[in-house]
Structure 1
Amino acid sequence: MKVTFLGTGTSQGIPIIGSQHPVCLSENSKDKRLRVSVLIEWNGHNILIDCGPDFRAQMLANNVERLDAIFYTHEHNDHTAGLDDIRPFFFRQGNIPIFAHKRVLKALRERFDYIFTTENKYPGAPGVKEYEIINEPFEFEGLDVVPVNFWHGRLQVFGFRMEDFAYLTDLKKIEDKEAEKLKGVKVLVVNALRREAHHSHFNLDEALEFIRKIGPDRAYLTHISHLLGFHDEVERELPENVFLSYDNLKIEI
């Protein structure tokens, strides 16, 4: 399994438009972050987790030629706004499978009604095939996928475990029975927004405590804001098995 971090930033990305914050002015490419998303390559298949507003740029930056499925964590704009840009994949492959909670599918149908309609559909619009995720394991093309249920403030979100890899973003609270699904995972990705506490995201201390609780071989922090600090400085502070992810980082599991 190969994982590409397509984007590692928070909802505004880094740099923030018009910001004079030192991190936003950094010339280090690792401090420039598109909206959060990962691409998982497994057994000849490309699986995208979240399809945000930077999707087109992310696909071009990584020369992605095929998209086999999109798994959605939740319906917020920074995780869904790029759906229209699946058109090149649709034109080559046909309807793209999308997997999401029924609430998220409903939100996508309302926002992108022209994609989901079956009557008088505009010929240039892409098409999708919907699959509802419930909090039970499912299989995609031979890959066992375990949804992990948690809370982003008061909003339900799904993370995903796939074999020895798990991806959780926009996490603030998780029940013990859901965290148990992550035991034995070798690589864990989890959000760490900033140093100060936040009402709906882990801060750095909460993310590190969660990583200690799960005990992966390696962990990567994502969904990062400029308030966390400069990439190189933050990474020097982290435990030896914890890393700050950055856009276009590729890892193998």
Structure 2
Amino acid sequence: MSPVDLTFTILGSGTSSGVPVPGCQCEVCRSHDPRNTRTRCSALLSYGDKNVLIDTATDLRQQVLREKLAQIDAVLFTHTHADHVNGIDDLRPFNSLSGEPLPIYGSPACLGRLRRSFSYIFDDNPEPGYRPRLLPREIHGPFELFGHLVTPLPLRHGQGESLGYRIGPLAYLTDCHNIPAATEELLAGIEVLIIDALRFRPHGTHFNIPQALAAAARLGARRTLLTHLSHDVEHIRDSASLPAGTEFAYDGLRLNLVLSGSTLASAH
């Protein structure tokens, strides 16, 4: 398979409250630097003529309008915390635009929770107009999506689990505080790493910035972007403390890479 261009877009780079935090008057929440305005975490993979969304963040409508996004072909879910799924109803316009149901991918536990939390989407009611039309597809290991290999990456997130995703040279690891050894093996040779880094102080369910930097150093990524950022992080001020090859993500940031012929067949 010939190489294809991959564009990765940070749709949202903020923690569950977003930034600015309502009611907060801190320096970051009052900032006029657009890189300090952070909607809830989601991302977009674009390759060939396909757009693959990662999570349906609470701010999804705002994000797709900002990016002038008129096509979504599939959704990868990392986990079911509210800030990563509560925009699911905003998938409805993409059904209307394509005329087709939209495949959504996640672990069996994740899809089960989505079915319970958004039962109006998945029940047998024949009225189609008020809900998105979604096709749940369970992830049980690496799978081919539009001709390229997607590798799910099990992560620890507090007492629960989340999934990161790897496609070609890029890995996206949001909402985690630990990367199991088996997952680190799946990240061998990674070039670009996007990783959870909530703040400088410790946190019980998220990497803080020193922990994220240590994980990135172990994995040996050429370029690392820190995401899921709180209002403790001021973009310009705190960028000066980051090591070479590491930067803070921000809403609307785009990365351009190349995908080789990484189909499931060629991965064996």
Give the structure-2-normalised TM-score.
0.92
Q: Which is worse superposed, 74-83 or 86-95?
A: 86-95
Post-superposition CA distance 1:194-219 (Å, at most 9, x none)? 11110000001000000000001111
- CA drift of 1:122 comes to 4.6
Instruction: Check if 1:95 corresponds to 2:101.
Output: yes
Whether the 8 Å CA contact 1:91–1:126 is kept in 2: the answer is: no
Find 1:113's aligned residue among 107, 113, 119. Answer: 119
- 2:64 aligned with 1:59: yes
Kept in 2: contact 1:114–1:121 (CA 8 A): no
Distance 2:94 2:22 in 1: 30
Instruction: Tell me the SS of whatever aligns to 2:240.
Output: helix
Counterpart amino acid of residue 237 in structure 2: E
* Match of residue 32 from structure 2: 27
Residues paired across the two proteins, number: 251
Distance in structure 2 (CA, Å) of the matches to 1:237 and 1:43: 37
Higher relative contact order (CA closer than 8 Å, sequence separation 6+) = 2
Specify which of 5, 9, 13 is matched with residue 4 of structure 1. 9
The correspondence for 1:125, drawn from 114, 127, 131, is: 131
Summarize deviations over 1:87-117 as a string: whole Å, max 9, x none: 1101122211100111111111122212112
Query: Partner residue of 1:245?
Result: 249
Question: For 1:198, which of 203, 216, 221 is the aligned residue?
Answer: 203
User: What is the one-letter code of the residue matched to 1:210?
Assistant: A
Aligned counterpart for 1:183 among listed residues 184, 188, 197: 188
Alignment-mate amino acid for residue 247 of structure 2? F
Counterpart Cα distance in 1 of 2:128 and 2:186: 43
* Structure 2 residue runs without a partner (length 5+): 1-5, 258-268
When structure 1 is superposed on structure 2, of 236-245 and 3-12 the one drifting more is: 236-245
**What is the CA distance between 1:12 and its match in structure 2?**
0.2
Q: Percent identity?
A: 37
Letter in 1 for 2:218: K
Alpha carbons 2:77, 2:104 under 8 Å: kept: yes
Runs of 4+ in 1 over 4 A off after TM superposition: none
- Matched position secondary structure for 2:238: helix
User: After the TM superposition, which residues 155-174 of structure 1 pair with which residues of structure 2 at under 5 Å, given as runs?
Assistant: 155-174=160-179
Q: CA RMSD in A?
A: 1.0
Residues in 2 aligned to 1:106 and 1:158: alpha-carbon distance in whole angstroms:
15
**CA offset at residue 118 of structure 1?**
2.4
Q: Output the TM-score relative to the length of structure 1.
A: 0.97
